[in-house]
DNA sequence: CGTTATACGTATATCGTTCTACAGAATTTG
DNA sequence: CAAATTCTGTAGAACGATATACGTATAACG
């Protein structure tokens, strides 16, 4: 009983270290931040004490005045397999720079995302990477003034208060259309995501634009049509896809804004006895690991998730260092052809 | 230029609120924590000011003396689709209790996991949920003394310093074997994960035990055999699975410790022209969303990931409230039969 | 009516850092 | 050799909350 709570080891603080090393608290702090004005002798003495005592600075206390050496990552839809690589890239880059990163999951719910961002600010994190945030533009502008921010998968090339890294989504969409055209299919439709607002900042909005432009360039505007799906993967999605496949107006080829829906579609087609690609060609976007499975074998656009993550983290680091002009970067997409289209 | 950094809105603190409401700082703090000794009149006055000023308490400052109202989630392998439901369950439960949760990704790398746990402690988080940690038992015992902790997917039923929630992994494994037996197959092998140490705390260790026991009960001990895979999904895994499938000793049925490898296996079998389940039956574990896809259609064990998450979060909340006796809970697994076996 | 509880608020020490000022020693300069 | 200039290290005020200790009305009691 006395054991359960009792063994409070009374945490070792900067004061403990200072006492142990026989120097002032300020001196230890200087060593920690490797700030100016500390001799080699002092440094080694302090480092030895830190080592011996197993001291770790308290981030909460640190955050009150200085930096927390931690960045927050906000992801929208935890389920999208596209995130794996992005997050791996972000984590690796931060890790190498001596930063920690913690992830918050927003579930595509605006209010929750807002609360998480605020929570990260309140934790005194040094910066934020927002992956495909579903926030109104003003909100984003507002928060990015409070904390260094970089977005991935959000197109706002004129924003001045935050950076962005994106796949060239218009180009990617066009690549799919062009590939379909080369196969001789013209009746090409698109499945996209419900737009959030009129600003066309979402990746799906940009892919729609790319799709429409490519169709127009090919003189096929009259065949272009877009179906919008809700974000949640409720039964609605399945029903919609089902009626989509069985309708008379079913296209010859479908470009899906994300592997997420393309995979569902390919499976549903399989169940309905619709041959892919003989009856229906399908392409996704993201080149996720599942799309690459031989049994799924989905044509897709690789947007180099890992690179997106790495670049975003690098940008955030320089922004934390003080850069204040905005950078907006594009990464070239790559078509990965597989049996589905 | 003056715009980039200049617009420092000088954050609203508890002092601002106190001034605005015309009360003391302590009074505001009391309202925030709804502590004892505050009249309705005062409360409404303070809440109005909070509302008007848009005040949010600084978590870092909070964590220095009181609670941060945030829990940390440590996940090992971000890629395992099993995590989706677990994390959703944890998040939903914390959210409802007014807690935030932040996720750290350990990548199955021991040292990194340790650093993340320490980081979460240093952030003054109120508690930790560790999902399938790959830590030595002493380390776990050590950290769980420093911060309220609950583990998921880690079997240590005698631990006194932390709680655990687990699928009954032995039972789940046995269910698979029994199902194979009912189909008339006896030559049943298992693919498992490289053990971390001799303590058999990992879920894969427990599933091995369940598998061996079930084989023994059926008088098939002589046919039981286990192949161990590395955790990383390097080419090694693929090579190993390839030679596994082409070897003369290929079993009639395979029980995989996780959908992760079962999916790989089913795809590889497909590529090699091995009919599933006619030539080879396959079962996974986790009943992940991918396993349920008609094109994959993998028999699997559902371990109610969401429920695991919910229970773990609930336990952590009561432990944060002061409970000090350990709880170790099992959740009944459920077999989901599909075409693969 | 005086005494004792009780409810409500306030003042202030405290948490563990960072960071600004400054003092003393060592070094360079004129 | 005195004065000016580094170079090191220290003291102590923040940071923004919590929580303890205490004072003062108000209510309850005998």
CB contact under 8 A, A324 and B4: yes
Q: What is the 3-state secondary structure (H, E, C) of A63-91?
A: HHHCCCCEEEEEECCCCCCCHHHHHHHHH
* pLDDT, mean of residues A239-258: 93
Does residue A62 approach strand C to less than 7 Å at its CB?
A: yes
Does residue B57 approach strand D to less than 7 Å at its CB?
A: yes
Burial of A260 (0-12, 13-18, 19+ CB in 10 A): buried
CB contact under 8 A, B60 and A116: no
Supply B269's token pair: 């079998």
Radius of gyration for chain A, computed over Cα atoms and rounded to the nearest angstrom = 25
- How high is the pLDDT of residue B233? 66
pLDDT at A315 over 50: yes
Determine the distance between A37 (CA) and C24 (C1') in angstroms: 14
Bridge partner residues of A191 (DSSP):
A227, A256
Q: How confident is the model at residue A16 (pLDDT cuts 50, 70, 90)?
A: very high
Nucleotides, chain C, CB distance < 7 Å = 7-12, 14-21
pLDDT in tens, A154-169: 999 999 999 999 999 9
B59 → closest Cβ in A122, A295, A296? A122
Q: How confident is the model at residue A3 (pLDDT cuts 50, 70, 90)?
A: very low
Helices (H), B66-168: 83-96, 110-122, 137-146
* pLDDT, mean of residues A249-266: 95
Does residue A37 approach strand D to less than 7 Å at its CB?
A: yes
- How high is the pLDDT of residue A1? 33
Separation in Å, CA of A291 to nearest CA in chain B? 11
Burial of A112 (0-12, 13-18, 19+ CB in 10 A): middle
A145 → closest Cβ in B7, B79, B271? B7
* Chain B CB within 8 Å of residue A160 CB: yes
Separation between Cα atoms, residue B57 and residue A50, nearest integer Å: 32
Nucleotides, chain D, CB distance < 7 Å = 7-12, 14-21
Does residue B18 approach strand D to less than 7 Å at its CB?
A: no
- φ and ψ at B105, to 5 degrees? -110, 120
pLDDT at B32 over 90: yes
pLDDT in tens, A63-91: 888 888 899 999 987 778 888 899 999 99
Bridge partner residues of B72 (DSSP):
B102, B128
* Chain B CB within 8 Å of residue A321 CB: no
Cβ proximity of B150 and B128 under 8 Å: yes
Q: How confident is the model at residue A234 (pLDDT cuts 50, 70, 90)?
A: low
Would you give the distance in Å from CA B336 to the centre of its chain?
21
* Chain A CB within 8 Å of residue B108 CB: no
Q: How confident is the model at residue B112 (pLDDT cuts 50, 70, 90)?
A: confident
Supply A150's token pair: 């970089």
Nearest nucleotide relative to B27: CA against C1' = C9
Nearest nucleotide relative to A13: CA against C1' = C16
pLDDT at A6 over 50: no
- How high is the pLDDT of residue B1? 32
Cβ proximity of B286 and B298 under 8 Å: no
Nearest nucleotide relative to A11: CA against C1' = C16
Separation between Cα atoms, residue A275 and residue A293, nearest integer Å: 18
- How high is the pLDDT of residue B9? 54
Separation in Å, CA of A318 to nearest CA in chain B? 15
Cβ proximity of B283 and B105 under 8 Å: no
- How high is the pLDDT of residue B191? 96
B295 → closest Cβ in A91, A112, A266? A266
Separation between Cα atoms, residue B72 and residue B49, nearest integer Å: 31
Mean residue pLDDT of chain B comes to 91
Of residues A51 and A4, more confidence is placed in A51
B295 → closest Cβ in A79, A115, A267? A267
Q: For the CA atoms of A15, A21, A24, A30, what is the dihedral angle to 10 degrees?
A: -90
Interface of A with B in 237-296 (CB under 8 A): 263, 266-268, 270-271, 289-290, 293-296
* pLDDT, mean of residues A198-205: 92
The listed range with the strongest mean pLDDT (A210-219, B137-146, B233-242) is: A210-219
* Chain B CB within 8 Å of residue A70 CB: yes
- Using the structure block, give the residue that is written with the tokens 């962005």: A164
Mean residue pLDDT of chain A comes to 91
């Amino acid at each position: 009983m006395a054991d359960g709570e009792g063994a409070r080891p009374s945490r070792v603080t900067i004061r403990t270290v200072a006492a142990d090393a026989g120097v002032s608290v300020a001196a230890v702090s200087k060593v920690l931040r490797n700030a100016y004005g500390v001799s080699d002798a002092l440094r080694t003495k302090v480092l030895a004490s830190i080592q011996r005592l197993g001291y770790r600075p308290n981030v909460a206390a640190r955050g009150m005045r200085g930096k927390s050496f931690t960045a927050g990552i906000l992801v929208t839809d935890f389920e999208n397999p596209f995130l794996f690589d992005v997050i791996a890239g972000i984590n690796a880059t931060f890790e190498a720079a001596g930063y920690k990163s913690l992830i918050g999951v927003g579930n595509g719910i605006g209010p929750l995302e807002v609360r998480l961002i605020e929570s990260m600010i309140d934790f005194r994190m040094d910066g934020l990477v927002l992956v495909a945030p579903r926030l109104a533009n003003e909100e984003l502008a507002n928060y990015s003034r409070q904390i260094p921010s970089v977005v991935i998968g959000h197109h706002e090339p004129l924003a001045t208060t935050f950076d962005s890294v994106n796949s060239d989504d218009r180009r990617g969409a066009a690549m799919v259309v062009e590939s379909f055209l080369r196969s001789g299919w013209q009746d090409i439709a698109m499945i996209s995501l419900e737009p959030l607002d009129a600003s066309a900042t979402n990746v799906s909005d940009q892919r729609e634009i790319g799709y429409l432009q490519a169709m127009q360039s090919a003189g096929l505007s009259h065949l272009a049509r877009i179906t919008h799906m809700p974000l949640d993967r409720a039964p609605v999605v399945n029903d919609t896809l089902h009626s989509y496949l069985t309708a008379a107006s079913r296209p010859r080829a479908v470009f899906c804004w994300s592997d997420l829906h393309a995979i569902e579609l390919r499976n549903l087609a399989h169940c309905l006895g619709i041959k892919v690609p003989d009856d229906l060609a399908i392409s996704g976007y993201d080149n996720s690991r599942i799309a690459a499975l031989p049994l799924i074998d989905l044509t897709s656009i690789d947007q180099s998730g890992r690179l997106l993550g790495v670049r975003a983290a690098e940008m955030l680091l320089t922004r934390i260092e003080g850069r204040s002009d905005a950078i907006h970067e594009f990464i070239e997409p790559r078509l990965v052809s597989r049996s589905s289209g």
